[in-house]
Structure 1
Amino acid sequence: MKKKILLFTAAALMAISLGACGKKNDDTADGKVELEFWNHWVSDGGEAKFFNKKIKEYEKNNPDVKIVQKNISIDDYTGTKLTTAFATGDGPDLFSASPGTINTFIDSGINYPLDDFFPKEVREDYSKESIKDVTKDGKIIAAPFEQDLMALFYNKDMFEKAGIQPPKTWDEMTEAAKKLNTDKVAGITYDLTKGAYGNFSFMPFVWQGDGDFFDGKKSTLNSPSVIQALTLWKKMVSDKSANLKPSRPASDVGILGDGETAMWIGGSFGIKALEDDYPDMNIGVVPLPIPKDGTPTTVAGGWKMVVNKQSKNPKEAAKLVRTPSIGQ
């Protein structure tokens, strides 16, 4: 399966200069080093629960360190929240960054170099691709902590009741969405908002038609493969089988777990949340459907952790992110 990473986004065009400002934090009253960690997951979601557990383990093993998490909604987080914070001198010690936004911070010189914290034995704990994704000009610029593949998740019980099989093609997917759509349940949910995750969700559908967004010199947004994918997106909006007003961000698999939608285009990050929060739901997952004569394709994403070089304690922050388990 072809896998690609989104390397840039419109956010990279922002005119704010980020490199000169950083977190002006102090240690706690009891002398502990306090690290402020900003991220994009919901406070009661699967990722938050995982990191809360790992942070407690880290603090137990490192009693001189206190970690304060700040959970920010995905829309605000991938908007201007971080860039504004750094521009005003209120940036965190470390933060999560998406493949679509990380270059904004790297190009502005925000990141603290991590080479000294990733010796060979530590790098061996990661896949080669994940290390490659955070290496620029031979230097490690961030720490990978997840790799996500997009797929189609579906409610097995709803499909069985409707007498249909999981879709393999675009036509089958649109027909299933129409058939499963009701006044109470959306046929399908995918991100329709402007932002990095919306781009991330849309990209494999362009690649399935052997197209891309750039040819190395200019935009190819008017190419047949892009138009074909946009037409697919618009078709499910026009026939109202798409979830136009989801109860939460479309990246939240709880939309599927709570029965709000019959199908959900999302990442493998949703599996953990389904196992933890919806163990009794009968959920299936299949590869993304493809167009006629299309190529099976997904996108491999994965957020990274970036250490702010303006932090008062960048070395402590770097130690926190250097292992996959974050528990040492």
Structure 2
Amino acid sequence: MRKKSILAALSLSLATSVVATSVASAADLRMSWWGGDGRHVATQKALDYCTTKTGHKVKAEFAGFEGYLEKLTTQMAGSTEADIIQVDWPWLFQFSKEGEGFADLKQFSGDLDLSQWNDSQLAPAMIEGKLNGVPVSVTGATYYFSDEIYRKAGLELPKSWEDLAAAAKKMNPDGVYPFDSTRVILMLMIEAFAAQISGQEFVKPGTNELAWTAEDIAGALKHYQWMVDNGIVRSAKDAAAVGNVEIFDDPAWVSGRIGGTYFWDSTYSKYDDPLTVGKLVPAAPLKIEGAKSDGVYKKPSMVFAISRHSKDQKAAAQVINCLLNDKDAILILGDSRGLPASAIAKATLEEAGKLTRERLDGAKIVAEATGPVMSPLIEHPSVQEVFKDVIEQFAYGQMTAEEAGEEMIDGLTRALRRL
């Protein structure tokens, strides 16, 4: 009896020691990300689960995409960024030119199962031999159309720009546009047109030297103007009349007066969730005349990185592993960040029937499409500022396509020289 009592006491002591060690190792962390309401809710629920799973508390810091980079830039400059950060892939190269801007995740392979990503998936986040982040998903920009809007118009979903021009003639009298692109979407689409015309990325591989010509850009802008002239999209002035909003917040989009748009497939929910009419269906790339490729941009949609200033990087790695590789957390997050890059995450969602046909079809279209190898420089703020400014001036009739092409080449050349 006494022997049993001693064993029981030892067991209790061991259990108490284990609990004490677990509590002592618990960390208080912060995690920042951008997204829409669906992503916010899912991520907070997953963090609640991972808090229970790992013992680490995580304070959520989330916002919309607009202004996120500016805030992160300020935080990184002041070393006040969150422990776990959702980072758009091109930003890695802004904050970590020598690979030292974030923690090297290879150091935490015992806490973060990196075997769930293959080398080609991890390569875009490798800088100077250091793994600055793990891809949450891989994404590409493609076209989506509302099945219900086209059904009501008695039309099949468009397969060409000529189909869209024909759809405009039927839809415009009812105050409906078959397609639209504003703000960031417009810039992305014109970049895709230029990539189709040139057959290559805007800079030569591995350099800051421009590969596009003024003629490539002028051709892309002329196609956009053709879209406006044929009633396929609203003019820049008409789109701006509703306020400085992205298309998914536009009342015309929500109410079903716009039949389609163009976006990264990883952001599907952000565009589909607000709709009160039908659902979005992905379409194969639409090519402009003389296109040399599909012009589809592909990249890691975003990565999870760990701050180099985090006081507990190991704990942060454990939380990331829970979010991306734990089956229960995976089911909570679903496809709120697109089709997962983690092998176990993708398999888990497929097995559970959590990936919609639209999501799978969109990913397949992107995977099979041709396009330039995307340079992270195209999303550098100083480069994007040139694109936005010149496109806006052209869209408001302040310069011709040829003038805009020359202006953009000059502006891009200056911007790239400073990088």
Do both share a fold (TM > 0.5)? yes
- Corresponding residue number in structure 2 for 1:162: 153
Q: Secondary structure at the match of 2:30?
A: strand
- Corresponding residue number in structure 1 for 2:283: 286
- Corresponding residue number in structure 2 for 1:59: 51
State the AA in 2 paired with 1:135: M
The structure 1 residue matched to 2:102, chosen from 89, 95, 111, is: 111
**Are 2:106 and 2:130, in contact at CA under 8 Å, matched by a contact in 1?**
yes
Deviations 1:216-249 (A, max 9, x none): 4522443433322233334445667535247743
| Offset, 1:320 | 2.0
| Offset, 1:76 | 0.1
Cα distance, 1:52–1:257 mapped onto 2, change above 3 Å: farther
Range that drifts further, 259-268 or 165-174: 165-174
Could you say which structure has the greater relative contact order, defined with CA pairs below 8 angstroms and 6 or more residues apart? 1
- Corresponding residue number in structure 2 for 1:35: 29
Q: Distance in 1 between matches of 2:28 and 2:172?
A: 49
The count of aligned residue pairs is: 292
Deviations 1:175-209 (A, max 9, x none): 5456534786444233424xxx7655544332222
State the AA in 2 paired with 1:212: E
Q: Secondary structure at the match of 1:75?
A: coil
- Corresponding residue number in structure 2 for 1:214: 203
Q: Distance in 2 between matches of 1:251 and 1:126?
A: 32
| Offset, 1:258 | 4.8
Q: Secondary structure at the match of 1:70?
A: strand
- Corresponding residue number in structure 1 for 2:192: 204
User: Where does structure 2 lack aligned partners over 5 or more consecutive residues?
Assistant: 1-23, 331-419
| Offset, 1:146 | 1.3
- Corresponding residue number in structure 1 for 2:84: 94
Cα distance, 1:300–1:275 mapped onto 2, change above 3 Å: same
- Corresponding residue number in structure 2 for 1:172: 163
Q: Secondary structure at the match of 1:116?
A: helix
The structure 2 residue matched to 1:84, chosen from 67, 74, 85, is: 74
- Corresponding residue number in structure 2 for 1:304: 303
Cα distance, 1:119–1:207 mapped onto 2, change above 3 Å: farther
The alignment's C-alpha RMSD in Å is 3.5
- Corresponding residue number in structure 2 for 1:71: 62
**Are 1:113 and 1:139, in contact at CA under 8 Å, matched by a contact in 2?**
yes
**Are 2:143 and 2:282, in contact at CA under 8 Å, matched by a contact in 1?**
yes
Identity of aligned residues (%): 16
Cα distance, 1:280–1:231 mapped onto 2, change above 3 Å: closer
**Are 2:256 and 2:275, in contact at CA under 8 Å, matched by a contact in 1?**
no
**Are 2:30 and 2:84, in contact at CA under 8 Å, matched by a contact in 1?**
yes
Q: Distance in 2 between matches of 1:86 and 1:198?
A: 29
Q: TM-score, normalised by structure 2?
A: 0.60
**Are 2:164 and 2:232, in contact at CA under 8 Å, matched by a contact in 1?**
no
| Offset, 1:93 | 1.3
- Corresponding residue number in structure 2 for 1:14: none
Q: Distance in 1 between matches of 2:96 and 2:149?
A: 45
Q: TM-score, normalised by structure 1?
A: 0.74
Q: How does 1:228-307 map to 2 (within 5 A)?
A: 228-236=219-227, 241-242=232-233, 244-245=239-240, 248-250=245-247, 256=253, 258-272=255-269, 281-294=278-291, 295-301=293-299, 302-307=301-306
Cα distance, 1:275–1:232 mapped onto 2, change above 3 Å: closer
Q: Secondary structure at the match of 1:103?
A: helix
**Are 2:92 and 2:125, in contact at CA under 8 Å, matched by a contact in 1?**
no
